[in-house]
Amino acid sequence: MATIRWSLSRQSQLLQQGAEARILEVSNKLEVLHNDFKTIIQQQGKHLHEIDKQLLNYQTQVAETYMKKHDCQSQFRVVESKIDNISNEAKSYHKDVLSRIDRLAS
């Protein structure tokens, strides 16, 4: 009977040691996975930060381009207005010259 108890006790100890070794092995693997995931999450965070910076830079460029376009359109309207004024002055001058020629011819 003592031999059976000793055998059962020994088997129990061996099973417990095996279970503890397996638990330690799984715990170590989980720790490695945890560290890997932590690294991946940090890399993702850095990547997202870079994307945010690029997006902000793109938005800034779009806004600057829009402002330049608006400025160019304003300058174009000013030049167009000056051309119209010069054209009107030239027409007026031309009419005045023709009128003087007519008066001199009469």
Task: Give the pLDDT band of residue 5 (cuts 50, 70, 90).
Answer: confident
Q: Is the dihedral of CA 42, 45, 49, 54 positive or negative?
A: positive
Mean pLDDT of the chain: 94
Element (H, E) at 94: helix 2-105
**pLDDT score of 3:** 85
CA distance 45 to 51: 10
- Residues 83-105 have pLDDT tens digits of 999 999 999 999 999 898 888 88
- Looking at the predicted structure, is the pLDDT value of residue 106 above 80? no
Q: b/e string for 45-74 if b means 16 or more Cβ within 10 A?
A: eeeeeeeeeeeeeeeeeeeeeeeeeeeeee
